[in-house]
Structure 1
């Protein structure tokens, strides 16, 4: 069953508390999300690469916390970093060798921007029982 996790940028250093960088992460199941969470906590960075698998810039995640199973917060050099990290793991087989620590979740993560809540664009999902 598809599993959704809300992820928001929370950085006390620059005062950014998720006004703009809010994401929904989609994984095939909770186990994939949990595995990605544990790997991010341990490694704290993902290396970007081009389509040929040539290593590029590192995307650093300073911290990732999980106040709830489906709600995460993170800090990094940029609010964009969570999206960039997931994009580097999104499925091009040549990119797999660049991030061997994430082999178990490679190609199983998609991250989508859900808008800025400060201006009313933050979207939420309707609870299943209301559909």
Structure 2
């Protein structure tokens, strides 16, 4: 599904409407990957050997980003890069190659013979949801089954199951050296998953006999993309038809397949805020 983000210059003394941009991508993961490439590479080749330095890159929300740079027109230069017009950049930052042709950055003003004129802000439907389900590293989340908003992961005595009536919070942390306060999690990331207990107690998750379970040992590294394609549900054949998830278990497989299910993170909050204290 098409995904939009606002991207504007945040610098005192700059005319507001001159440097506002709309970032268009085919999906959220592509947008977040674009943001991460910028965050991980604050000095960028934009044309020839010329570099620009990003002084500030802030994630105000999942769809509102702000920047301060020694080139106020940074998004225009980035549009050239992701359109395939800056081959020098791909040697320095190979990650740009994965974004070629997948991102468009449009200025929210147009140029006439007498200069810039604002075209007006576009209202993005995703911004009207009232809840920003941004997936940020180190936050705690509920994990729900895609397409079944009432079915969540639950810590059932040390084994992770699925439930319509109970749910647990889990911290998902990216394994990276990046120190930014808000790091969006993207598909290629290696992540650690931890169950959050009372008083924000953390216990890592591992795979035991094929099942997802708590461990007192070393946490298993997962890929963030595993939530979409490598976890599945094992049902209890003796369960009541009215409670299909009773005594179910979540499994993990090293290969994606047609029998695997799909899950997503939701209701993320910083650890320690109301909502991450034990199970519901």
Normalised by the length of structure 1, the TM-score is 0.74
Closer, same or farther in 2 for the Cα pair 1:104/1:46, shift >3 Å? same
Give, in whole Å, the separation in 2 of the partners of 1:61 and 1:21: 15
Pair 1:78–1:93, CA change in 2 (3 A) = closer
Determine the structure 1 residue equivalent to 2:30. Answer: 32
1:90-109 aligned within 5 A: 90-92=83-85, 94=87, 96-109=90-103
How far did residue 66 of structure 1 move? 1.1
Q: Residue in 2 aligned with 1:6?
A: 6
TM-score using structure 2 length: 0.38
Q: Does 1:124 align with 2:118?
A: no
Q: Which has the higher contact order (CA 8 A, sep 6+)?
A: 1
Q: Distance in 2 between matches of 1:45 and 1:9?
A: 17
Instruction: Give the root-mean-square deviation of aligned CA atoms.
Output: 2.6
Q: CA deviation at 1:69?
A: 0.7
Asked if the contact 1:61–1:82 (Cα under 8 Å) also holds between the matched residues in 2, the reply is no
| Cα deviations by residue, 1:24-45 (Å, 9 ceiling, x for unpaired) | 0111111011111112111113
Q: Residues 61-100 of structure 1, C-alpha deviation per residue, up to 9 Å, x if partnerless?
A: 2221111111110110132112212321223594533531
Gapped regions of structure 2 (runs ≥ 5):
111-116, 127-280
CA distance in 2, matches of 1:23, 1:40: 15
| Count of residue correspondences | 119
2:253 match? none
What displacement does 1:102 show? 2.6
Q: Is the Cα contact below 8 Å between 2:17 and 2:118 reproduced in 1? A: no
Instruction: Provide the residue aligned with 2:74 in structure 1.
Output: 81
Bigger Cα Rg: 2
Unaligned runs of 5+ in 1: 50-54
Indicate conservation of the 8 Å contact 1:60/1:81, yes or no: no
Higher strand share goes to which structure?
2
